[in-house]
Amino acid sequence: MPIFCCEETINEFETLTRDAGRVQQDTLKKILKVNADAEYLKHFGLNGRTDVQSYKSCIPLCVHSDLEPYIQRIADGDSSPQLTGKPITSLSLSSGTTQGKPKFVPFNDELIENTLQINHTSYAFRNREYPIGKGKALQFIYSSKQVVTKGGILITTATTNLYRGPRYKEGMKDIQTQCCSPDEVVFGSDFQQSLYCHFLYGLIYSDEIYQVFSTFAHSLVRAFQTFEEVWEDLCVDVRDGVLSEKITVPSIREAVAKILKPNPELAESIHKKCMGLNNWYGVIPALWPNAKYVYGIMTGSMEPYLKKLRHYAGHLPLISADYGASEGWVGANINPTLPPEEVVYCVLPQTGYFEFIPLEKPKAEEMENSASIHYIESDPVGLTEVNIGKIYEVVLTTFGGLYRYRLGDVVKVVGFHNSTPELKFVCRRSLVLSINIDKNTEKDLQLAVEEAGKLLEPEELEIVDFTSSMEKSSDPGRYVIYWELSSDASEDVLGSCANCMDLAFVDGGYVGSRKVGSIGPLELRILKKGTFKEILHHFLGLGGNVSQFKTPRFVNPLNIKVLEILSRNTTKSYFSTAYGL
């Protein structure tokens, strides 16, 4: 994309954000006008009105379960306007890792346009800082299974809904480097084979790669962990010009055959570079010397993977991608030089109608050092009515048929860009661990694991991944934390890690319950190597997409299959003695 086009996009963004309040009113009016015949809006008596006051007084806040009857009718083939004015022909499938089961979310052409708007904006700001021209991108992207309901509605993941759409492909051509892998690899039926061939294409076009990307930081780390295992096979393929027999998908083999030719010189170069690396530090710039940055979603539940990703990226900057969910987009990263831990997202006022539920901690002095969410809610406020330094839950109204939808994300307003707020993601609002009066979130768990993980550093060990559950079959109940480690650790160190995590949960309900023994000692369970890969494959078998997969930080008791995987792969167990109980 020429620089003048980037500047044109930035200028348009500046114009919209200077008058965000008016743009929000116009956006809501547009959403309600095009969807005026929707059964959901009629049910609450909106009667075609499009002003903000009528909308808020008639339409209640909702969560996904409130929409499920309407979505089910859509899936069953009811073509009458249920949530949108135009019939919904496709449903997106969420990853299912947050709640333990996937959710169906309406998908339509307007959501593709919103995605393009967000991507155009963030690319324009990113390209101003890190110009990448017209080279290629090593993109670890994958399709997922596509099924059709009895009513003729296509169900697949949100990313697949985007990738399969010609409008999205056409719209993205001008704003990013071209993916070096063809559609046959992206839409391959076996993601491990697709991953292998992503690397193969990336190595063949190594001098033309300007960007390394995947949807989540987790996917990038998993990809390069796999590379450590298969790099020698890749060298053989490049040297001989013959694809490994492990790749069995006919469409992938046929596509690779068109570009794979014997190249002993390149194979030798790859082999020499890999052999010269110190524990794979800086493998990305070593093999792709023209790469400018590594790109993907790196906030929230992705933060635990940043240390390992930085190891692979070496001197290359990590840039966090835009803020959104299966339900819709929230904001763009227009400050690409900020590290992922500090990234903020600027809300684009034309992509949806946004409200924010103010959240207040009832006893701030007791909660000062806790990430736990014990909030008192106030009435939602509009996009331009939020205050800097305050925390809120995000509420979305989208072109895809979600009305005053509680996203469940907690954000902090850290500033304004013109008149639109800049948000920092804090955490998911839902609790992860709670035995009785204790309340700990995913962020609390992450902080506890990070603190205990410091004890592994002298032994040069790292936590590959982690999750948690609650053991309530015993009395008292207790927290169970699962770790997969890069190598074996000593008994003393792991016992200390269990103690450290137990003390790291500073929620008042937890601390008080531990002191009186109404919550039992925290248990740390060590898992076999490869356990989280097995969990990944389990979710893929349910129809998920590796591009959307997020390790579940809490395993619901109803998720029997994942609990069985964790139990079967547990090798050792350590109980905290921190409270002397």
Residue 10 near residue 124 (C-beta atoms within 8 A): yes
Q: What is the pLDDT of residues 394-421, one digit of tens each?
A: 999 999 899 999 998 999 999 999 999 9
Q: Which residue has the higher pLDDT, 481 or 374?
A: 481
User: What are the structure tokens assigned to 334, written together?
Assistant: 């227009």
Q: Which of 247-251, 316-320, 369-373 has the lowest mean pLDDT?
A: 369-373
Q: Is the pLDDT of residue 39 over 80?
A: yes
Q: What is the pLDDT of residues 554-567, one digit of tens each?
A: 888 888 889 999 99
pLDDT at 372: 46
Q: Which residue has the tokens 């900020």?
A: 338
Q: Is the pLDDT of residue 87 over 50?
A: yes
Instruction: Return the DSSP state at 62.
Output: B
pTM score of the predicted model: 0.83
Q: Is the pLDDT of residue 101 over 80?
A: no
How far, in Å, CA of 449 to CA of 522, rounded?
12
Query: In the chain, how long is the greatest CA-to-CA distance?
Result: 71
Binned at pLDDT 50, 70 and 90, residue 4 comes out as very low
Q: Which residue has the tokens 């346009």?
A: 113
User: What are the structure tokens assigned to 1, written together?
Assistant: 């994309």
Instruction: Return the DSSP state at 299.
Output: S
Q: Is the pLDDT of residue 322 over 50?
A: yes
Helices 109-129 and 3-18: angle between axes, nearest 10 degrees: 110
Q: How many residues does the chain have?
A: 581
pLDDT at 179: 79
pLDDT at 165: 63
What's phi and psi for 414, nearest 5 deg? -105, -5
Q: With 0-12 CB in 10 A as exposed, 13-18 as middle and 19+ as buried, what is 245? A: exposed
Average pLDDT over residues 146-157: 74
Average pLDDT over residues 83-96: 77
How far, in Å, CA of 495 to CA of 487, rounded?
16
- How is the chain split into domains, by residue range? 3-108+324-428, 131-148+174-316, 432-575
Q: What is the pLDDT of residues 492-520, one digit of tens each?
A: 999 999 999 999 998 878 888 888 888 99
User: What are the structure tokens assigned to 397, written together?
Assistant: 């109204």
What's phi and psi for 299, nearest 5 deg? -105, 175
Q: With 0-12 CB in 10 A as exposed, 13-18 as middle and 19+ as buried, what is 48? A: exposed
How far, in Å, CA of 516 to CA of 435, rounded?
14
Q: Is the pLDDT of residue 163 over 70?
A: no
Angstrom CA distances, 339 to 25, 306, 310, 324, stand at 33, 10, 11, 18
Cα angle for residues 482, 485, 487 (degrees, 5° grid): 150
Q: What is the pLDDT of residues 342-400, one digit of tens each?
A: 999 999 999 999 999 999 876 544 443 444 456 788 899 999 999 999 999 999 999 98
What's phi and psi for 296, nearest 5 deg? 170, 170
User: What are the structure tokens assigned to 412, written together?
Assistant: 């902090």
